[in-house]
Amino acid sequence: MKNNRRPLFGSMVLLLTSVIWGLAFVAQSAGMRSVGPFTFQSVRSFLGLLTILPVLILRYRRNQQEVREGKARNMFEFHNVLKGGLGCGLAFTFACTIQQMAMKTAGAGKAGFLTALYLVFLPLFGFFLGQKIPKKIIFCVIFCMGGIYLLSVSETSGMNASDVMLIICAAVFATHIMIVNAMTDRVDGVCLSFCQLLFSVVSLAVPALVFDHPTWSALKEAAPSILYSGIMSSGIAYTLQIIGQRYTPPVTAGLILSLESVFALLGGMVILQQIPTLREASGCVLVFAAVIYSQIPERKRHNNAVEEDGISSQMEG
């Protein structure tokens, strides 16, 4: 009976993760009213570091014990941690920073749906690396382009700069996922998360001081948003994702986690009163439909490493 309940337990944990990540877009949008993007991301990453540090210590001790007993390989070798940490850290920091900059003007719902495009970018990138691209992805791309047009392109002013940044953000997140996929068998997942957060803190500290000029009063005003994004999104949600994916097939996990875009839209509507127009809502529907369809497995196909690992990645709102 216990084993039969595990898939349901995993799905519920991942659903909670998608809710936390979706509402993180709301927190980011609200936080940008008080502090700059470099400050928000740097402080948020620092709080995420503190949150996952106990988990990292426990995983390190457990892995080293298993190594001594000959039951596992060392997942904390310095050269692998350095290589994976720098690669993941660079992609993660760049994607999160431009996402934060875009949310100066983009609403939480739009940001959630455009960021979810990383699920479509993944198989496209795999195609350029010599992997076969499924035919359905071509249809998904067409639907996404239509959704982006309705969601982002104004009949009078064209596409906003913030929308372009969010699309670039999705592409970089897809690159980040591929880097994680390449390192996942060499470095512990929580260790990679810790390294990328550390990279974010260190690399953005100086730009935050130079360009954002943060003040204590501004940080105090943005504290609820930063605390939620740092502790809940960057820290707790990532740990929940790891737990949930232990009991959930990758495709199912990807479908559940992609719901973060829906929760971002709902959160923006309820909390921030960001009501989408009919045109924007139609664009959201097209993008979401394409993302969901892109993750539904075909009846007869071989497992694709990029596709399988990509859909079960972290996102970060």
C-alpha to C-alpha distance for 45 and 238, rounded to whole angstroms: 13
DSSP secondary structure code for residue 187 in this structure:
S
Distance from C-alpha of 164 to C-alpha of 184, rounded to nearest angstrom: 30
Comparing CA positions, the residue from 105, 136, 140 lying closest to residue 287 is 140
pLDDT at 313: 46
Q: Domain limits of the chain?
A: 2-109+160-274
| Residue ranges, the chain, pLDDT below 50 | 1-2, 301-315
> What pLDDT is recorded for position 39?
95
- Helix axis angle, 108-115 relative to 278-295, nearest 10°? 30
**CA Rg, the chain, in Å?**
19
Task: Output the CA torsion sign for 106, 112, 114, 115.
Answer: positive
User: Which residue carries 């880097």 as its tokens?
Assistant: 179
Question: Could you tell me which residues come within 8 angstroms of residue 311 by beta carbon, excluding any fewer than 6 positions away?
Answer: 119, 122, 250, 251, 253, 254, 255, 257, 258, 295
Distance CA 67, CA 90 (A): 30
**pLDDT number for residue 155:** 57
| pLDDT the model gives residue 156 | 57
Distances 23 to 79, 155, 156 between C-alpha atoms, Å: 36, 30, 31
- Helix (H, G, I), strand (E, B), or coil: what is residue 229? helix
Which helix H or strand E contains 159, and what residues bound it? strand 158-159
Find the DSSP H helices in the chain. 2-31, 37-68, 78-102, 108-115, 118-128, 135-152, 161-183, 189-207, 216-227, 237-245, 250-257, 260-271, 278-295, 305-311
Other CB atoms within a 10 A radius of the CB of residue 243 amount to 14
pLDDT for the residue numbered 247: 81
Q: Which helix (H) or strand (E) holds 154?
A: strand 153-154
Condensed to tens digits (0 to 9), the pLDDT of residues 256-313 reads 887 888 888 888 888 888 888 888 888 888 888 887 887 777 665 444 444 444 444 4
Can you read off the two tokens belonging to residue 211?
A: 């360009």
Q: What is the pTM of this model?
A: 0.81
**Residue in this structure with the two tokens 């690159």, named with its chain if needed:** 175
**Quick one: tokens of 38?**
């470099």
